[in-house]
Amino acid sequence: MASLKGRNALVTGAAVGLGNAYARALAKAGANVAVCDVRAEIDELPAALRGMGVQSAGWRGDVSNPADVRRIVDGAIAALGSIDLLVSNAGIWGGSVADDDLDKSLADYERIVGTNLKGEYLFGRALIPHMLAHGRGGDIVNISTDHVHTCGTPFHVCPKLDSCPWKDAPRPTAGGTIMDLYDAGKWGLHGLTFAWAKALRPHGIRVNAICMGATDSNMLRGFHNFNPSPEEVATWMKAEDSAQVLIDLLMEGPGGRTGENMNLCVGRPTRLEPALPPVYILAEDIHVKA
Ligand SMILES: NC(=O)c1ccc[n+]([C@@H]2O[C@H](COP(=O)([O-])OP(=O)(O)OC[C@H]3O[C@@H](n4cnc5c(N)ncnc54)[C@H](O)[C@@H]3O)[C@@H](O)[C@H]2O)c1
How far apart CA 41 and CA 167 sit, in angstroms, is 36
Mean pLDDT split into 10-residue runs, the chain, 290 residues: 94 98 98 98 98 98 98 98 98 92 97 98 98 97 86 66 65 72 93 94 95 89 76 90 98 93 83 79 58
In this prediction the pTM is 0.93
- The pick from 118, 212, 224, 265 for probing ligand 1's pocket by mutation, whose C-beta has the most ligand atoms within 8 angstroms, reads 212
Name all domains of the chain by residue range, CATH numbers in brackets: 8-285 (3.40.50.720)
Beta carbons of 178 and 216 less than 8 angstroms apart = no
**pLDDT of 228:** 80
pLDDT score at 39: 98
Q: Is 31 exposed, middle or buried (0-12, 13-18, 19+ CB in 10 A)?
A: buried
For ligand 1, atom 44, which residue shows the shortest CA distance?
A: 212
Which pLDDT score is estimated for 1? 80
Cβ of 258 below 6 Å from ligand 1: no
Return the SS3 of 223. coil
pLDDT the model gives residue 290: 44
Which of 219, 226, 264, 265 has the most ligand 1 atoms within 8 A of CB, as the residue to mutate? 219
